[in-house]
Structure 1
Amino acid sequence: MGGLGRGAPRAARPPVGYKGRVSPDADADRQALRRFFSPGGRLLDLPDRHPRRRFLLAHVARRFEPGRDYDWREADALLRAIHHDHAALRRALVDEGFLVRADDVYRRIAP
């Protein structure tokens, strides 16, 4: 399996606006996240508005351990557990800079 070690592409820094830690108002964050998930914990849909989308993706990205390589099967299994369109969710995580991809291996950007 290819990895994300030496010579692999990586982000120079975490995504803009990503704090990588619990916000000062964690209760408000939990309340806001409830809008996006069913009572069973499934993601209802990806928001269209960019700030909401990034907020949600930052939460979803926490399912991935920073610095650990995930092959595409592992990444899909993690995302399939919460959303029917795991491929779109995975692409959004990569596009927004929460995950990097090289040779079908994914890695979360450490905050």
Structure 2
Amino acid sequence: MGITKTERFTAEQNELAILAKAIGHPARIAIIEYLLKIDSCICGDIVNELPLAQPTVSQHLKELKNAGLIKGNIEGTSICYCINEEGFNKLKGFFQNINAYLIKKECC
């Protein structure tokens, strides 16, 4: 596998790329939408909402958590997941910058 050259980009650019990659799968979008709808849940509830096997859902949850888009707390034998506002605030700031540019810009 080739060198990614991530060291040639800013920390913010690398962080935004990780966040964007984490939401770049429809199953992860579905998980985020479900968490927004119910505010928190355990992994089993998410598995019941998606047409995926439990190990697959767990892998998607892991990716979202590693990117900082969700948080998980262990409660007994279950993990309760919720949205991590900090991660989404970073995405929000990025898209607000794009939106501000688009509002001002008259492009071809």
- Greater fraction of residues in helix: 2
TM-score of the superposition, structure 2-length normalised? 0.43
Q: Which structure is larger by alpha-carbon Rg, 1 or 2? A: 2
